[in-house]
Chain A
Amino acid sequence: MLKISDMNVYYGSIYAIKGVDFEVNEGEIVTLIGANGAGKSTILKTISGLLRSKTGSIEFDGEAIGNTASHTIVKRGLAHVPEGRRVFLQMSVQENLEMGNYTQSNKTMNQRIEQVFERFPRLLERRKQVAGTLSGGEQQMLAMGRALMSRPKLLMLDEPSMGLAPLLVEQIFDIIRELNKAGVTILLVEQNANMALNIADRGYVLETGKIVLTDSAKALQANDAVRKAYLGG
């Protein structure tokens, strides 16, 4: 469904992503794990078109999207929940969801907003509230709900567990699993490698802009090097 070949990304003169290849198949949960600064978020931003790869190609649903404007990528069914949630803090919960619907028809919008509220009942209670007043967990739910409004086939999640209490992390990961069961393919970027590998089918390990290891999630969890570096021994 998503196929990245030879991705090379620079931030000015900094060489951030060095020839990365990977793919995500329909129905999978795939995780990219790696330390801070390994380039995980950069890869997601490049897939969404916020950054550009110098070489290679990005193929989504059989079409090349490496040179398409970022605002047209969402419409193809590729949604990105960015690092730090990035909800619109000065807009209400309802308005944030409406923004998620920007590329979709207005007719079915309210129905889909109700679906988001069914999945995240906490958001319904806060519907009229400005997003800046929500807790971190609620903001994460809003960011995910907002992305779901665009009816994604592939959902990219960047550090959904960041800064959340363990109980909330569990909840968020349960929801990711449910979404996957409902037919959404997931590309998950996490520093919390253990949690990510628990729900993923496959994983890629990223180190300073290169993929150094790939395997099934189970095998990665059993891998000594991975355990030492990312799973706390």
Chain B
Amino acid sequence: MFFVSHLVNGLQLGSIYALVALGYTMVYGIIKLLNFAHGDFIMVGGYIALFSLSTTFFGLPPAVAVVLTIVGCMLLAVVVEKLAYRPLRNAPRISVLITAIGVSLLLQNLAQYFFGATPMNFPTHLLIPAGGITMGDVFVAYTPLITIIAALISMVILTYLVQRTKLGKAMRAVSEDTEAAQLMGINVNTIITFTFAVGAGLAGIGALLYGAGYPRIEHTLGVMLGLMAFVAAVVGGIGSIPGAMIGGFAIGLVEALVTALGFSEWRIGAVFLILIIVLMVRPTGIMGRSMMEKV
């Protein structure tokens, strides 16, 4: 039963990685930008959730806190895109990448300025009740259970959005050929804004689930989480939505497995080892396809 509990831990962590990786991969798919500020959107989401839930601050009902966190992350992403990335739309990619790193540092420093450098405690059980269910002789707490279910539901909704709706199809069109998409009458800027908003919405859900599972909110929270999710996106195949989901769960499970084997201090190293192996054996990632050169 030792094994099952580690499996659940891996899936819980993997769910969060996958949600965050989706934001990376969607933004990359549409404007070929590695949005290094994405991890920090989760940090901001974590603080929004903490302040709105915590009884020492606003003590809002969980449902309200959830909505505030998701909408807050979306707004932040839309504003960042508009102010920082859009003016650089025709600039070399490296300039935009450096800007993304700048935005990331700015968000971290603002958070440190306003909320201090001391980690704050996330009121986990105001979001997800304590306790759990027993299946056979295995006990599974509500937190991992709800995390995994919420992540899966988010993924189903996202897949529906991207595959079936007009906006989602337009996203795929812009991601494949921006110019041809413009010739269809698609407003590319609207679609880019929409993509940032959806990615950040998933980051908001990730922030809530992260807070519930690992209740320590600090201004550097997005750094490692963002990095691991980025690895997940690359392992899955950057630009591929199913790839980000698979990559996220894979990385989470690897961490859990290495921990279960008693090498918990090596778990991060193991993830990067996997990254190196994937990049050597299959540089486009699990689901990535090699881009055909356009003639």
Interface size on A, residues (CB 8 A): 30
Q: Beta-carbon contacts of B147-174 to A below 8 Å, as 1s and 0s?
A: 0000000000000000000100110110
Question: A70 to B185, alpha carbons, bound, how many Å?
Answer: 7
Shortest CB distance A139–B (Å): 12
Which residues of the other chain, B, contact A69 by a CB distance below 8 angstroms? 187
Shortest CB distance B62–A (Å): 37
Q: Beta-carbon contacts of B181-218 to A below 8 Å, as 1s and 0s?
A: 11111111000000000000000000000000000000
Which residues of the other chain, B, contact A146 by a CB distance below 8 angstroms? 184
Q: A72 contacts B185, CB within 8 Å?
A: yes
State which of A50, A87, A106 has its C-beta within 8 Å of the C-beta of B182: A50
Shortest CB distance B290–A (Å): 13
Which residues of the other chain, A, contact B169 by a CB distance below 8 angstroms? 91, 95, 98-99
- Are A86 and B180 CB-contacts (below 8 A) given A91-B172, A95-B169, A99-B173? yes
Q: A103 contacts B185, CB within 8 Å?
A: yes
Q: A86 contacts B177, CB within 8 Å?
A: yes
A18 within 8 A of B: no
Binds B, one of A74-82, A112-120, A189-197: A74-82
Interface size grouping (class) on chain B: 20 to 34
Q: B185 contacts A89, CB within 8 Å?
A: no
Within 8 A of B (CB), among A96-123: 98-100, 102-103, 106
Shortest CB distance A162–B (Å): 10
Question: A90 to B181, alpha carbons, bound, how many Å?
Answer: 13
In the complex formed, the residue of B with least CB distance to A150 is: B185
A57 within 8 A of B: no
Q: B184 contacts A90, CB within 8 Å?
A: no
Q: Beta-carbon contacts of A146-164 to B below 8 Å, as 1s and 0s?
A: 1100100000000000000
In the complex formed, the residue of A with least CB distance to B182 is: A70
Q: B176 contacts A48, CB within 8 Å?
A: no
Shortest CB distance A159–B (Å): 12
Q: B180 contacts A82, CB within 8 Å?
A: yes
Q: A71 contacts B180, CB within 8 Å?
A: no
Q: A88 contacts B177, CB within 8 Å?
A: yes
State which of A50, A71, A106 has its C-beta within 8 Å of the C-beta of B187: A71
Q: B295 contacts A84, CB within 8 Å?
A: yes
Question: A150 to B177, alpha carbons, bound, how many Å?
Answer: 18
In the complex formed, the residue of B with least CB distance to A76 is: B185
- Are A91 and B183 CB-contacts (below 8 A) given A71-B188, A84-B295? no
Shortest CB distance A133–B (Å): 13
Q: B184 contacts A102, CB within 8 Å?
A: yes
The residue among A80, A89, A90, A102 with the most chain B CB atoms within 10 A of its own CB is A102
Question: A91 to B166, alpha carbons, bound, how many Å?
Answer: 13
- Are A80 and B183 CB-contacts (below 8 A) given A98-B169, A99-B169? yes
Q: B185 contacts A74, CB within 8 Å?
A: yes
Given contacts A79-B183, A147-B183, 17 further A-B contacts (CB under 8 A): A49-B182, A71-B186, A84-B294, A88-B173, A90-B176, A91-B169, A91-B172, A95-B169, A95-B172, A98-B169, A99-B169, A99-B181, A102-B170, A102-B184, A102-B186, A103-B185, A146-B184
* Chain A to chain B contacts (Cβ below 8 Å), 30 pairs: A48-B183, A49-B182, A50-B179, A50-B183, A69-B187, A70-B182, A70-B183, A71-B182, A71-B185, A71-B186, A71-B188, A74-B183, A75-B185, A82-B179, A84-B294, A86-B177, A88-B172, A88-B177, A89-B292, A90-B172, A95-B169, A98-B166, A99-B184, A102-B184, A102-B186, A103-B184, A106-B166, A146-B184, A147-B183, A150-B185
User: What 6 A-B pairs come out closest when comparing CB atoms?
Assistant: A74-B185, A103-B185, A86-B180, A71-B187, A70-B182, A102-B184
